Amino acid sequence: MSLGRRDLLKFLGGAAAGAIFTPVPWKLIDDVSIWTQNWSWLPLVPRGEIQSKYTTCTLCSSGCPVRVRCAGAQPVSMWGAAGHRLCPIGLSAHHLPYHPGRLARPMEHTQGGKWQPITLEAAVERISTGLSGCLRQRGSIAIVDGRAGTTASLLYKRFVAQTNAAVYIADETTARNGIDLDRTSTLLSLGVPLQDSWGEPGHVMRLQADGKLTVIHAEARASATASLADTWLPLAPGAETAFVLALAHVILKDGIYDRGRIQKAENFRSFETLIAAFSPERVAAATGLAPDVIGDVARQLAQAGPSVVLAESRPGVDGADELATAVAALNLLIGSEGSEGGILARPEVPVHDSLKDASRVPATTLAAVPDHSVKVLWLDDAEIPWAVLERKLAPEHLVISVSAWPTGAAAHAGLFVPAPLFLESVRDAAAPADSAAAWFRITSPVLPAPPESREGVDLLSQVAEKIGLTPTDSLVDHLHRRAEAIRTAGHGQVVSYADGTATGIAAFSSAEDFWNALANGGAWTQAASAKAPPRLRLPGENSSLEKTMRTATPPPSNPGTAAELPLVVSAYTGPPAASPVLSKLYEESGLKEPPDTAFIHPQTAERAGLKPGARAMVEAGNVKRPVLLEISTLVMPGTLHVSAAPEFHPARPKHSIAGTTAANGRLVRARIWNV
């Protein structure tokens, strides 16, 4: 039999037709579909033994206990430990080292305003030159510490004590005092986002749900905190101080306070006279609250104690000091200072002898620093509006920022030195606002820090050596020493993160034991005790509060022309950056207000002829920013609300209106128009 070309073709044709009835082509199609999808487009998951590591979250001052789930050495998820739960940013903190906006190299601002990478040596050199130039000028160096009350703070203070040219700026309120929240019955919050980035995650809500805490919240917007408060007071923006003084007025008038103690306070008579002007009837118009509502709140605070009044702190903002003074006076009046369930002085965390002197160096407030006096400004994770800082700078200045994120004020720095992130460093956590206990909690590294990153204090020590000052040992050494000082002092106990058990400090026989207990997941803590303050002082007639009545004016019922409105900036206190996955989830769910969005009541928008859903410009003080204008029935008519949020996208424009306008006053008038 001879085979021709035709036969071959026939055979091939038959084979092809027959193959269709075999699984081969179909299996191939399936495999191709899998290959095309796996191939370079589909990431592979990490492999390695699954294990848990315990550490302390240092993203904010809450210092939550964390269980890091690792595959091999790689963290793959974060969970709260010892009965604590984490906030969304903490839950995704293991993404942060890979955040595209993270800067891991020292940078310098060029003349053109662009970032340019430099070596660490060059950065140290430049800082040294900057510092040595003004070592003889008192107050020409300012160090702003974003994590007051930590061991690093003591090292900054030590530097300040050495030079005389430097001032140490930090808000030490929380480091010194804490709220004994677990025993508080009534909490009045003035715009504090209790349900959102304040205190330990879920703390307030759990106390409320368990019926232990009643929350009264005053805010010009039906925020989450307002909606979940037991009582929400739609307080007009700018009238907070007047409102607080009116509460004091009712309490004094009704005599519902501890007369024996309070009447002995310094300035009592003068305070009484001052307060007389703030009757609920007189402040009603400015606050937008009916006199009997103010009366009820005052009586609830005085009688349903222990009560605490809480206002958000806004460093450097006009009017913030008056509000703080008034709130302090009211807290005094309702007996929350130094009493159980109130505001307690935090026990001191023992300090090693080598830093005892440094610990006595006082912190300065930014307000106390004269304008245009600072030649070298050192920012360590400081979240202060740039406009506030800018005012303090001399014409010739150098701003150094030590942080992982070139956002907020850090965006304006002349020099940027990267700091290691949480999970990359050894640090101690600052003290939490919603607990009055003393804490010493350290985080231990799970991932390596970028080679050119430095802790702020370690960098400063390197610089100090260069300019002829005594360098300090590293932060890690000082943390070890402090742990030993705590152990030898012999107070308090260690709570283990792995199982939540508490062990008395006496059980730790060696420094190493104690350190390991902390570094492998443990918190040293010492409970605060109620102790009345030795001397009570009330603000008198001559205090800054006197002008409050004049400045508190009701919001305009008719905004008139193309919207000149009182600007309210929503409060946000939290880490400056979040995981890109979290940003995505927030954007897609619309759960958090996106930054650079202005909200206005539909009536106000209509009356002012503003077009919602469109781009608009907001001008407040000397800042002009484009925003997206949205209408919302949650905001008070006649006001303009601008959202402040963490810089989810560090690539976005650096200073938001929320940060800058705060400088121009607690209540600024903003002009808004469509573009």
Partner 1 sequence: MDRGLIIRGVRRCSFGRFALWMVPWALLLIVGCYAAFLCLYEGLHHTNMDNRFAFGLWIFLDLTVIALGAGAFFTGFLLYVMKRKELQAVINSAVVIGFICYSGAVAVLAVDVGQPLRAWFTFWHPNTHSMLTEVTFCISVYLTVLAIEYLPVILKNRKLRQVPSFLVFEFQLHKLMYVLAGVGTFLSFFHQGSLGGLYGVLHARPFVFREGFAIWPSTFFLFILSAAAVGPSFILLTTWLVSKVTRKELVKPAVFRSLAHVSGVLLIVYVLFKSIDTLIWINGTSPGLGFAAYDYYAWKPFGTWILFTEIIVLGLVPALLLLNEKRLPSRGWLILAAMLASSGVALNRFVLTIQTLALPTLPFDQFLSYWPSWQETATFLAVVAYGVLVYSFSFRYLTLFPQEKELSRI
Partner 2 sequence: MTKETVKTRPARYGMVIDLDRCNGCGACMIACAVENNVPACPEGVTDRTGITWMRVQKLSNGQSFPDSRTAFIPVMCQQCGDKTPCVSVCPQQAVEVDEASGIVDQMPQRCLGCRYCMVACPYHARYFNWWDPAWPNGMERTLNPDVAPRMRGVVEKCNFCHGRYQEARAKAAVDGAAERAVEYTTACAEACPTGAITFGDLDDPGSEVAQLAKSENAFRLLEKLGTGPKVHYISKRAWVRAAAGSSLAAETREVRHG
Binding of residue 369 to partner 2 (CB under 8 A): no
Q: In 3-state terms, what secondary structure has residue 57?
A: coil
> 217-256: which residues touch partner 1 (CB under 8 A)?
none
**Which run of H or of E encompasses 367?**
none
CB 114 within 8 A of CB 108: no
368 contributes a contact to partner 1 by CB under 8 A: no
Residues 6+ apart with CB under 8 A from 571: 191, 192, 193, 312, 644
If binding is defined by CB under 8 A, does position 263 make contact with partner 1?
no
- Please identify, using beta-carbon distances, which residue of 110 and 633 lies nearer to partner 2: 633
Segment holding 486, helix H or strand E: helix 475-489
User: Which of partner 1, partner 2, none does residue 29 bind (CB under 5 to 8 Å by kind)?
Assistant: partner 1
User: How far apart (Å, rounded) are the C-alpha atoms in residues 640 and 669?
Assistant: 9
| Position 11 contacts partner 1 (CB under 8 A) | no
Structure token pair of residue 199:
């205190």
Binding partner selected for residue 420 from partner 2, partner 1, none, CB under the kind-specific 5 to 8 Å limit: none
Q: How far is the CB of 28 from partner 1 (least distance, A)?
A: 10
Window of 27-35, 159-167, 433-441, 666-674 that interacts with partner 1 by CB under 8 A: 27-35
Partner interacting with residue 675 (select from partner 1, partner 2, none; CB below 5-8 Å by kind):
none
Q: What binding mask, one character per residue, do residues 47-76 give for partner 2 by CB under 8 A, x or -?
A: xx-x--------------------x--xxx
601 burial level (CB within 10 Å; 0-12, 13-18, 19+): buried
What is the contact mask toward partner 2 in residues 540 to 579, using x (rule: CB under 8 A)?
---------------------------------------x
Number of amino acids touching partner 1 (CB under 8 A): 7
Q: Is 224 in the site for partner 2 (CB under 8 A)?
A: yes
| CB distance 423 to 453 below 8 Å | no
The entry of partner 1, partner 2, none near residue 582 (CB within 5 to 8 angstroms by kind) is: partner 2
Count other Cβ atoms within 10 Å, centred on residue 264.
Answer: 11
Nearest by Cα to 382 from 360, 371, 366: 366
Per the omega criterion (within 30 degrees of 0), is the bond before 576 cis? no
The per-type count for the chain, helices as H runs and strands as E runs, is: 23, 27
End-to-end CA distance of the chain: 88
Torsion region of 442: left, alpha or beta (phi above 0 gives left; psi -120 to 50 gives alpha) = beta
CB neighbours (10 Å) of residue 540? 17
Applying CB under 8 A, among 1, 3, 20, 45 the residue interacting with partner 2 is 45
Residue 24 as a binder of partner 1 (CB under 8 A): the answer is no
- Is position 652 an interface residue for partner 2 (rule: CB under 8 A)? no
Helix residue ranges, H only, 351-467: 353-359, 386-390, 456-466
- The closest of 641, 672, 480 to 572, measured between CA atoms, is 641
Provide the minimum distance between the beta carbon of 26 and partner 1 in the complex, in angstroms, as a whole number. 6
Residue 33 makes contact with partner 1 by CB under 8 A: yes
- Minimum distance of partner 2 from residue 102's CB (angstroms): 10
Token digits of residue 334:
């309702």
CA distance 151 to 157: 10
Q: Does 37 bind partner 2 (CB under 8 A)?
A: yes
Q: In whole angstroms, give the CA distance from residue 600 to residue 85.
A: 35
Which one among 122, 209, 507, 651 touches partner 2, defined by CB under 8 A? 209
CA-CA distances (angstroms) from residue 285 to 274, 330, 554?
19, 21, 6
CB of 33 to partner 1, least distance (A): 4
Q: Does 36 bind partner 1 (CB under 8 A)?
A: yes
**Binding test (CB under 8 A) with partner 1, winner from 26, 136, 581, 652:** 26
9 binds partner 1 per the rule CB under 8 A? no
Binding to partner 2 in span 490-509, by CB under 8 A: none
Based on the shown chain and the rule CB under 8 A, indicate whether residue 30 belongs to the binding site for partner 1.
yes
Binding of residue 649 to partner 2 (CB under 8 A): no
Does residue 592 interact with partner 2 by CB under 8 A? Answer: yes
Stretch that binds partner 2, among 36-44, 147-155, 615-623, 660-668 (CB under 8 A): 36-44
Cα(359)–Cα(356) distance, rounded to whole angstroms? 5
Nearer to partner 2, 22 or 37 (CB): 37
CB 206 within 8 A of CB 537: no
Helical ranges in 54-210 per DSSP H: 88-91, 120-132, 151-163, 173-176, 203-209
Number of other CB atoms surrounding residue 309 within 10 Å: 26
582 binds partner 2 (CB under 8 A): yes
11-19, 77-85, 104-112, 497-505 -> range binding partner 2 (CB under 8 A): 77-85
The residue ranges that bind partner 2 (CB under 8 A) are 34, 37-38, 41-48, 50, 71, 74-80, 85-88, 91-92, 94-95, 97-100, 195-196, 201-202, 205-206, 209, 222-225, 227-228, 232, 234, 579-592, 601-603, 633-637
Q: Contact residues for partner 1 (CB under 8 A)?
A: 26, 29-30, 32-33, 36-37
